[in-house]
């Protein structure tokens, strides 16, 4: 196992849709300060993106745009390893080896495959089925100690741990066995049009606020946000999901507590509250959107970040694959 000064973290988001306010608050915002205590690897998971039919030109564009948004959100490429997954071929190489140490029964139990298969019943491909093996390779190839995950991703960390322990049990101390990392600060942001569902970048509707939305679009989405038939602005996740979601968003954007917000809007209606939340989101996202737009135009800089990120990621990934290949008996010229 290679010596590490800091514990290592690996995470990534597929460039299959535009990043949302939920992506920022629930994940990326929490990543920004982690480099102080961890060695951070953040990938644009484009290999995972092709389990659904897609437009290649759109995937390329969104990959670059997402990288620019990562940086605009505060992820410094000098302090974090930002890289495009497909530019590190070792991911796919390790995924094949790990697939030979993954049991069919384990893959059959993966609930995310079942959910996705229902959504794309006309395209239930082998990549969708073996998705967890590639995800395990993503994590293990960097000897990641921790993986930031939500509730819906915990099963992927569990199967990764099973694969790592099985491989280590046969060949010795090869992989770091990762632990799930639950951020101390963070919030699960729900759809504005359906507070029962998580705000999703694949949801092409008024329910998702995108990082690159204009102020006018953001305000319009909050004006239409689902609330309830009452008039009181208070946090009640069980009975007032829509208002509770807006309270969470406003709290994160302003730094105010729920009690402070409830006092602030004690004698005001939902219309005033939604307007205030929208304005807070506009000001939170404005510098991110403007910086991302600037970065996207700076093609020389973005290309430099992409190239250096791939080199840094490959250096670590190739060391792991070389070790694995030696362990399983693949012949190499000395």
CA–CA separation, 305 and 83 (whole Å): 8
Sequence-separated (6 or more) residues with CB below 8 Å from residue 66: 13, 15, 19, 44
Contacts of 184 (CB under 8 A, 6+ apart): none
Catalytic residue among 14, 29, 116, 221: 116
Which of the residues 29, 198, 240, 274 is marked catalytic? 198
Q: Is residue 223 classed as helix, strand or coil in its secondary structure?
A: helix
**Whether 39 contacts 7, CB under 8 Å:** yes
Q: Please identify which of the residues 201, 221, 240, 274 carries the catalytic annotation.
A: 201
Straight-line distance from the first to the last Cα atom of the chain, in angstroms, rounded to the nearest whole number:
22
Q: Does the active-site annotation cover 114?
A: no
Decide if 319 is catalytic: no
CA distance 1 to 178: 13
> Is 268 a catalytic site residue?
no
3-state helix, strand, coil in the chain (%, to 5): 55, 10, 35
Contacts of 28 (CB under 8 A, 6+ apart): 13, 19, 70, 73, 74, 75
Residues carrying an active site annotation: 116, 198, 201
């Amino acid at each position: 196992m290679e010596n590490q000064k800091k514990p290592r973290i690996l995470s990534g988001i597929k460039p299959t849709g535009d990043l949302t306010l939920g992506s920022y608050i629930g994940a990326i915002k929490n990543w920004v300060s982690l480099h102080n205590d961890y060695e951070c690897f953040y990938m644009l998971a484009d290999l995972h993106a092709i389990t659904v039919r897609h437009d290649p030109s759109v995937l390329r564009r969104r990959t670059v745009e997402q990288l620019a948004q990562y940086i605009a959100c505060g992820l410094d490429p000098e302090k974090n390893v930002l890289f495009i997954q497909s530019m590190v071929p070792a991911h796919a190489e390790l995924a094949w080896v790990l697939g030979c140490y993954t049991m069919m029964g384990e893959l059959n139990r993966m609930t995310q495959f079942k959910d996705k298969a229902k959504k794309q019943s006309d395209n239930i491909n082998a990549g969708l089925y073996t998705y967890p093996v590639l995800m395990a390779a993503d994590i293990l190839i960097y000897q990641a100690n921790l993986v930031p995950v939500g509730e819906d991703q915990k099963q992927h960390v569990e199967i990764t741990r099973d694969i790592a322990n099985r491989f280590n049990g046969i060949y010795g101390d090869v992989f770091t066995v990762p632990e799930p990392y639950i951020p101390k600060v963070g919030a699960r942001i729900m759809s504005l049009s359906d507070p029962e569902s998580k705000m999703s970048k694949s949801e092409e509707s008024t329910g998702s606020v995108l990082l690159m939305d204009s102020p006018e679009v953001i305000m319009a989405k909050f004006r239409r946000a689902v609330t309830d038939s009452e008039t009181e602005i208070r946090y009640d996740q069980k009975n007032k999901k829509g208002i509770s979601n807006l309270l969470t968003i406003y709290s994160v954007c302003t730094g105010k507590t729920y009690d402070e917000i409830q006092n602030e809007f004690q004698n005001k209606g939902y219309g005033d509250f939604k307007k205030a939340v929208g304005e807070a989101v506009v000001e939170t996202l404005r510098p991110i959107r403007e910086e991302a737009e600037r970065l996207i135009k700076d093609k020389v800089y973005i290309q430099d970040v992409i190239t250096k990120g791939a080199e840094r990621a490959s250096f670590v990934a190739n060391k792991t694959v070389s070790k694995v290949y030696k362990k399983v008996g693949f012949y190499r010229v000395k």
